[in-house]
């Protein structure tokens, strides 16, 4: 069954270029020219991935992302023509999984999209489907996280980071290791991007977030005995 992607982009030419390229790659594509139209499509149809521009008429990309995250953990790639790193960090804080800065090639966008789409079928916990440590349970097949039995909403990228740290509990994981494991391509951000994901995970875990510790000048570790 074809993967369905929703493209939300107000620039007609760019939207058509992205759409045609993804269609050629075998994806089922729906496109929207503004935030209001996008949210209508999102409510009516099921999608596997969303490509979301920030600067949109009617409802901006920030608001679209925020509304989608209230009910869904669908992978979101944000598009931005702005170079301010704070914009990118805000996108991650609102629940975006990745971002691409304009101008970009369709191949780069496809690589980012494929990473997130592939993560849906990849089993990060093997051979067991469930891993439970310190009151935190992660379920690979459904890509869900529970804290003391309560389901918490995490993005695809947040799930992968948390799962990787928990699978390597007690081991200091370098930032470089995390980047290569989670993103799998040449990193275009800085440490603040990864730090933002970690901060979001800790916040969502509540008191259990203390188990993710910072190893100065190295990276992060999932500590059990704290």
Domain termination site, one of 121, 140, 172: 121
Confidence at 84, pLDDT banded by 50, 70, 90: low
Instruction: Write down the H helix ranges in the chain.
Output: 12-24, 35-44, 61-69, 85-94, 106-121, 156-167, 175-182, 191-205
Mean pLDDT for 58-67 is: 93
Statement to judge: residues 138 and 166 lie in one domain: yes
Give the residue from 184, 148, 150 showing the smallest Cα distance to 164. 184
| Sheet with 136-139: strands ordered across | 130-133, 136-139, 144-147, 150-152
Residues in the chain: 226
Each residue's pLDDT tens digit, 64-79: 999 999 888 899 999 9
Enclosing domain of residue 151: 130-222
**What is the per-residue pLDDT for 94?**
86
| Euclidean distance between CA atoms 54 and 71, whole angstroms | 20
Q: Is the peptide bond before 49 cis (omega within 30 degrees of 0)?
A: no
| Euclidean distance between CA atoms 55 and 193, whole angstroms | 20
Q: Return the CATH number at 195.
A: 1.10.10.10
Statement to judge: residues 136 and 96 lie in one domain: no
Q: Give the chain's domain count.
A: 2
Is 15's pLDDT higher than 70? yes
Q: What does the DSSP 8-state code read for residue 99?
A: E
Chain centroid, CA 129 distance in Å: 21
Statement to judge: residues 114 and 134 lie in one domain: no
Q: Considering only 38-47, 63-72, 191-200, which range has the smallest mean pLDDT?
A: 191-200
Statement to judge: residues 109 and 191 lie in one domain: no
Distances (CA, A) of 119 to 134, 148, 183, 207: 25, 25, 11, 28
Q: Return the CATH number at 22.
A: 3.40.50.2300
Statement to judge: residues 103 and 140 lie in one domain: no
Statement to judge: residues 31 and 102 lie in one domain: yes
Statement to judge: residues 107 and 149 lie in one domain: no
Each residue's pLDDT tens digit, 126-158: 545 789 999 999 998 788 899 999 999 898 889
Is 9's pLDDT higher than 90? yes
Statement to judge: residues 140 and 90 lie in one domain: no
Statement to judge: residues 140 and 116 lie in one domain: no
Q: 198-220 in b/e burial notation, b at 16+ Cβ within 10 A?
A: bbbbbebbeebbebbeeeeeebb
Statement to judge: residues 116 and 134 lie in one domain: no
Domain termination site, one of 86, 102, 121: 121
Q: Residue 215 in 3-state DSSP?
A: strand
Give the residue from 99, 107, 96, 223 showing the smallest Cα distance to 154. 96
- 116 vs 48, higher pLDDT: 48
- Whether 92 and 196 have beta carbons less than 8 Å apart is answered as yes
Q: Return all residues near 11 (Cβ < 8 A) that are at least 6 apart.
A: 53
| Euclidean distance between CA atoms 130 and 144, whole angstroms | 10
Statement to judge: residues 109 and 201 lie in one domain: no
Statement to judge: residues 137 and 116 lie in one domain: no
**What is the per-residue pLDDT for 225?**
85
Is 169's pLDDT higher than 70? yes
């Amino acid at each position: 069954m074809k993967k369905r992607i929703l493209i939300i982009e107000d620039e007609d030419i760019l939207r058509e270029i992205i759409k045609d390229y993804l269609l050629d790659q075998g994806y089922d594509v729906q496109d929207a020219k503004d935030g209001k139209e996008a949210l209508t499509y999102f409510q009516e149809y099921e999608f596997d991935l969303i490509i979301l521009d920030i600067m949109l008429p009617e409802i901006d990309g920030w608001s679209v992302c925020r509304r989608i995250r209230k009910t869904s953990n669908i992978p979101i790639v944000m598009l931005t023509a702005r170079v301010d790193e704070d914009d990118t960090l805000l996108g991650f804080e609102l629940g975006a999984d990745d971002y691409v800065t304009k101008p970009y090639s369709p191949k780069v966008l496809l690589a980012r999209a494929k990473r997130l789409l592939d993560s849906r079928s990849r089993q990060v916990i093997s051979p067991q489907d469930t891993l439970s440590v310190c009151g935190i349970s992660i379920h690979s097949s459904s890509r869900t996280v529970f804290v003391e039995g309560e389901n918490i909403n995490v993005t695809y990228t947040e799930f992968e980071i948390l799962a990787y740290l928990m699978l390597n509990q007690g081991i200091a994981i370098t930032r470089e290791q995390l980047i290569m494991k989670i993103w799998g391509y040449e990193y275009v951000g800085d440490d603040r991007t990864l730090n933002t994901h970690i901060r979001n995970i800790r916040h969502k875990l509540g008191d259990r977030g203390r188990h993710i510790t910072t190893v100065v000048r190295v990276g992060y570790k999932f500590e059990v005995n704290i």
